[in-house]
Every structure is written in C-alpha cells, then in structure tokens.
Structure 1
Amino acid sequence: MRIAEMEQQHIFDGHNDVLSCLWREGQSAGEGFFNGRDGHLDLAGCRAGGFAGGFFAVWCSTDPATAPDPMAQFREFPAIDPARAHLETAAQVAILLRMVRARPEAIRLCTSAAQIEAARAAGAVAALLHIEGCEGIGAELDELHLYHAAGLRSLGPVWSRPNIFGHGVPFNFPASPDTGPGLTEAGKRLLAECESLGVLFDLSHLNEAGFWDVARLSGRPLVATHSGAHAMTPATRNLTDKQLDAVAESGGLVGLNFGCQFLRQDGQKRADTAPEEMLRHLEHLLARLGEGGVALGSDFDGALMPEFIGSARGLPKLVTAMQAAGYAPELIRRICWQNWLDMLAKTIG
C-alpha cells in the first residue's frame, strides 16, 4: 500500500484535554474547536490529520499557587479543592454538550462502539466523554450517575495527585510507579459502580498499588488509555512489564501516550523527540500485549508533543513512520482504529 493511501487512515485516540483548555480559555460553547485555536486539536486539524474520534477528557486544574515547576524532572501534585472541582467538572461536561448540540454534523457524543462507527461514516468527530481524576465526584457517587446519564462512558479515578478514591503517580524519572497506597474503600465502590453502569475504568495515572487493586477486583479487561512502557522509559507514568503482562492476561489494552518525557530514553521534556522513540514503545507494547492490545492515546492539549507530529494535523506522519518500520497495513489499522473499537464494544457496549 502506498504512503499516500496510508495517510488517509482514520484514527481513534485514547486521550485529549481540549475540553479543559476550552474551559480555561472561557469558551463555554467550544468556539475555538470549530473556528481554529492555538492548540493541538480543532475541527480543521482533525479532518486534515484523520482524527476521527477519541476520549474527550474532563480534567480539573491544579491551583497555580501550589503547582510545581512544569519543566522539573520531579513533580508531585497536591490534592485540590473538591468544591472547585465539582464546578469545573460540570462546566467542562457542559462545553461538550453544547458543542455536539450546536454542530452535530461536525462532532457527536457517542456512548457505544456502534455510535462511533456511525459518526465516522457521517464524517463527524466521535467524542467519548471521559473524566480524568474524579475530584468532581463525591463518595456517594451521585455525580457519577448524573454524568453517566449525560453520556459519560469512561473515567480515571485519579490524576497524578491523591483524592478520596486513590493515589495518582507523581511525574518522576527515573522511578517506579509504586509510589503509595492503593484504592480507598470509596475507590473500590467507584470501580464496582462503573462496572455495573458500563463505564470504562482507566488505569492511566493510577499508582501501582491501585493498579493491582483493580486487577484483583475487576472482571473486565484492564485498560490504560494513555500510557507507555516503563522498560523503555522508566517514568512513573509508564507501566512495568509485570503490569503489561496483567493487561494482556485480562484481554486489555494500552493507548500509547505521545508526551515526550514519557517516550524519550533520557526522560526529558523536549519536543525534538524522534519517531523512533515512539516506535520503541510500540514495539515493546506489541511484544507484551499482542497486536490486539495496543492503540494510541495521544494526550493532545495535555502534554508536549514530538515536533514531528505537533498536533492532530501531524498524525499521518506517525502512520508513515509505522509503515516505514515495516508494520503491515492491517496492524496499522488496528493500532489506529480497530483495537479501540473492539475494546469499547466489550467495555461500554
């Protein structure tokens, strides 16, 4: 197959943070997504790069007064105010709801794999609503049911900070993800309720003890929407081989994070990160998880991207790099699209 043909590959992506960016920019109707914005993700860029859908995350910001240096090698984030998080979570969910109501031909809120396929066929971006760090959900889980009714189908119990449900890994290199205790009792109740509702439970950002709690308690495939291989880059945010083996045994999936510091052998947050760094991780993930267990989880609008990709517009360059490395067309299609759709059919319906 020619490179020009491969560049038309549709991509379903495991993570972006455009909703939190739009919220911080005061765009309650998501205007920048439709009209062009200074970021990784907008409608024109999605269409140019083959970005046909993905997990649209709600993420509550860290207080600037207590946030660590964003370029530091070690970053430990404190807990945030739950009252503020409740407001931010609701506001960001509302942004997506306004977007899909205003421009259904451009973006659709999807709650099943079949709806994602239908959105692609219609030429609309398929948005799966995800919450990253559940500070906006209380211990009684009332908000979980409200957001599920609004379309929520995926969540990560923690971001890289503690909350009432568990403990997230700090950003550290080189270091182990074994950084503290596991799920709290509230976290275990959250897991059980998500499985009852058909909400995917994301292991990205959860520390190792929390990961093993989920592996022990869950009957579902283990999924990390945007992570990498610790053996390739020993950052706390990446999964060890033992964790990857557990994901494989469960029939689970890992979406590769594009964040430069999680890809590079030196752990540096530098944009001059070559395609080979991404391919190292893909090769390792494929060896551990098999061809059905690896997908993409860019972290667009939430991490520093390799400059050869830059934004959603640059996704064809990653496809070309996979082709140049000898990946068969069917494997590329699975990594870019089908593996996520197969996993979502099993986890959310």
Structure 2
Amino acid sequence: METVFDGHNDVLLRLWRNSREGSDPVDEFTGGTKKGHIDLPRARQGGLAGGLCAIYIPAGELVLKEPDSRGRYTTPLSPPLERAPSLDIALQMAAIALKLERAGAWKLCRDSADVAGAMATGKFAAVLHMEGCEAIGADLAELEVFYAAGLRSLGPVWSRNNIFGHGVPFAYPMDPDTGPGITEAGRALVRECNRLGILIDLSHITEKGFWDVAELSDQPLVASHSNVHAITPVARNLTDKQLDAIKESNGLVGLNFAVTMLRTDGRDKADTPIDEMIRHIDYLVERLGVDGVALGSDFDGALIPQAIGSAAGLQNLVAGLREAGYGNAELAKICRENWLRVLRSAWHEKPAA
C-alpha cells in the first residue's frame, strides 16, 4: 500500500456542520461514518496518513449553475462575508481540530518533525489550513492567534472576494483571468506568511492574484487542489503559463479529485473514470516534472469519481498510476514526498538529509 499525504480536504467543515446537529466530532472521525469522505477507518483502509485540513467559512451550499445547451455555465461568485461571524466559525472549527488532538484522534502538526512522527506511528497527521481568510482582519492580529493554534497553511481567498483579494468563479469554459489581484492588505498578508512560515495556497485566486503573489512571495508557488486548464477549461484550473511559474519556483500542484475539474466537459458527474485523473497527472508531470505533482483531493468538499468514492479508495488511483507506468519512486513523490518537501521549504526548515 502506498502511503498518501493529501494536500486538501474539508473534513473540519463536515464535522462542524454535523456537530451543529448533535454529532460528536471525535466519535464521527474515529468511529467511522457513512457521511462524507474521511474518517479514521477509511483513511487507514486507503493509506491516507494525513493532509491539510481546511478551515472554510460556508455561505450556504454551493450549487453550480445548470449548463446551457452548449454545456457552458457560469456560477456567480458567492458574496463577501463579514469578519465577525466568520471568525466565530473559524474558531469553532479550530476548536474541533484541537479537540481531535486532545482525544488522540489525530496529531495536529506544526512542523515536518510532527508530520513524520505521526506518520511513523500510524497517527493521522493533520496540518491546519485556512481556505479564504474572511476570519482575519486587515491588521492580521487573528493570524497570530491561529498560528499559535497550529495554522501552517492558508489560501488568501476562496471563490469569492474579500479584503485580501479576488477569487475565480466556478465556470466552464472560462479563463482564470477573471478580475483584480491581491489588495494592499493581501500584500501585507503575503509578507506576514513569509515571515511566520505559513504556506500560501493559490487555488481559487484570480490569475492576476497568482502573479501578484508570485512576484512578492519568497515561497515555492503552490496550488493545493487545482488541475490543468488545457484539459478542462474551468476557471479554477491552471494555465500552462501558471504551471511553468510553479515549476520555476520548485512548487507543486495537488490534483483535485472534483469531477468538474477533471472532465473535459466540466460536468458534475460521478461516473468519471480514473483515467481522467491520470490524464491530468500525466500532463502535470510532463509540464512540471514529477517533483512538482502531488494530490489535493478536496475530500468532503466536492463530488469525486465513484471509482474512488472516499479516502478508502485512494489505492485505486495508485493502482491506476502503476498501470500507467509510474514506478515506486515516482509514486512516493506524488503521494507524499513532494508535499513534505514544499512544506519544509515554506516553514523555513532545512532540507531533509
């Protein structure tokens, strides 16, 4: 079995939502559930040893606009959120992450030694991520608090606008150059992430925002859960020019399992074959080299191929990659080693010996 460290999931969102209806997050995560994609039993079955676990502030359910007769759709951006209620929800999700750690359900990892130690002992290695920074004010005071709580990765925006920058809509076909880039507050956020050692994730941001961060940041460029625009021209996917910049920075792209970002027709259909996932990985490997390709499933945040189903089905993708000619060393990089390399760099750690 190939061990996987995954670059993006929304398990904290699912646990938070269910806790509001009376579910206990520890019991749901450790005991197993039919809900969503990730719990400990299914993670162990599929070889999922850990990943970046997102704090994401929902604003109702995202419903993709129905395609027109030519298969085109443009889902309007979600409206901006206010900081105070966003902060309340973010703190509640962080509290769930800390509660899981206290209960021994996972290890909340603050450096690569924590990740390595958790994976070596069979404990789920969770890295706290923030997907859209609506909970953080322009003075960045909240960032210090979340960093102390374990935050080690963030995306300045989700697919909506905030005080830090602008997001891309869910739309097909559409170029990611959909609006302005980061604001002055966004520039201050990037500089502070560089100082603290917090990974900056460029999934969901406009192309202009991508280039703004690329110009300002001292980190490898990372899109934790994005795919290839040349194959699937949704606004969320990356152009060849963006991929080239990611390669130049020694960054990476994590393959998003969302079927709308895999299929050439951009449709939301679960009967998407694993071959479509491998097609994107092949393209990314050709463009970035194998050192720049990883996994960013979007478990618990998207409709994924039914051939994967949940974390329990990860080895089906591994098997498909083996059949496509990927060897053990390449699979180790794609499944975990590339993520660990990039995290060490963003976190100001020395390269592994």
**TM-score normalised by length of structure 1:** 0.95
Provide the residue aligned with 2:50 in structure 1: 53
Aligned to 2:59: 62
SS at match of 1:167: coil
What is the match of residue 34 of structure 1?
30
The Cα of 1:70 is off from its aligned counterpart by 6.4
1:96-145 alpha-carbon deviations (Å, 9 max, x no partner): 00001111xx4100011221111011110000000000000111000100
Q: How does 1:247-326 map to 2 (within 5 A)?
A: 247-326=246-325
Taking a change above 3 Å as real, the CA distance of residues 33 and 71 of structure 1, as seen in their structure-2 partners, is farther
Equivalent residue, structure 1, for 2:70: none
Whole-angstrom CA distance in 1 between matches of 2:38 and 2:309: 10
Structure-1 residue corresponding to 2:345: 346
Give the Cα–Cα distance (whole angstroms) in 1 for the partners of residues 214 and 327 of structure 2. 32
1: CA distance, partners of 2:201 / 2:4: 20
Shift of 1:198: 0.2
Distance 1:250 1:14 in 2: 18
2:278 aligned partner, one-letter code: L
Partner of 1:93: 94
The superposition leaves residues 212-261 of structure 1 with CA deviations (integer Å, 9 ceiling, x where unpaired) of: 00011112110111110101100000000000000001111110100000
- Residue 128 of structure 1 aligns with an amino acid whose one-letter code is V
Q: Secondary structure at the match of 1:165?
A: coil
Give the gaps of 5 or more residues in structure 1.
1-7
Mapped pair 1:223 → 2:222: yes
From 11, 14, 35, the counterpart of 1:18: 11
Deviation at 1:346, TM superposition (A): 1.0
SS in 1 for 2:305: coil
CA distance in 2, matches of 1:69, 1:51: 29
**Counterpart residue type for residue 236 of structure 1:** A
The within-5 A match list for 1:16-165 is 16-26=9-19, 27=23, 29-37=25-33, 38-63=35-60, 68-69=63-64, 73-76=73-76, 77-103=78-104, 106-165=105-164
How far is 1:35 from its partner?
1.6
- After superposition, the Cα gap between the structure-2 partners of 1:274 and 1:63, relative to the gap in structure 1 and judged at 3 Å, is closer
Structure 1 window deviating more from structure 2 (110-119 vs 179-188): it is 110-119
SS of 2:303's partner is coil
Do the aligned partners of 2:3 and 2:335 also contact (CA within 8 Å) in 1?
A: yes
Cα distance in 2 for residues equivalent to 1:69 and 1:295: 26
Overall identity of the aligned pairs, in %: 53
Work out the CA distance in 1 between the residues paired with 2:173 and 2:125: 36
Aligned to 1:193: 192
SS at match of 2:144: helix
Letter paired with 2:52: F
**Residue 28 of structure 1 contacts residue 95 of structure 1 at CA under 8 Å; is this kept in 2?**
no
Aligned length: 338
1:71 positional shift = 5.7
User: Residue 36 of structure 1 aligns to which amino acid in structure 2?
Assistant: G
Matches of 1:224 and 1:123, distance apart in 2: 27
| Contact 1:30/1:96 (<8 A) preserved | no
Does the 8 A contact of 1:54 with 1:128 survive in 2? yes
**Given the superposition, is the C-alpha separation of residues 157 and 252 from structure 1 closer, same or farther in structure 2, using an over 3 Å criterion?**
same
SS at match of 2:224: strand
RMSD: 1.2
Distance in structure 2 (CA, Å) of the matches to 1:23 and 1:87: 12
Residue 74 of structure 2: SS of its match in structure 1?
Answer: coil
Letter in 2 for 1:346: S
The CA deviation at 1:69 is: 4.6
Alpha carbons 1:253, 1:295 under 8 Å: kept:
yes
CA offset at residue 68 of structure 1? 4.7
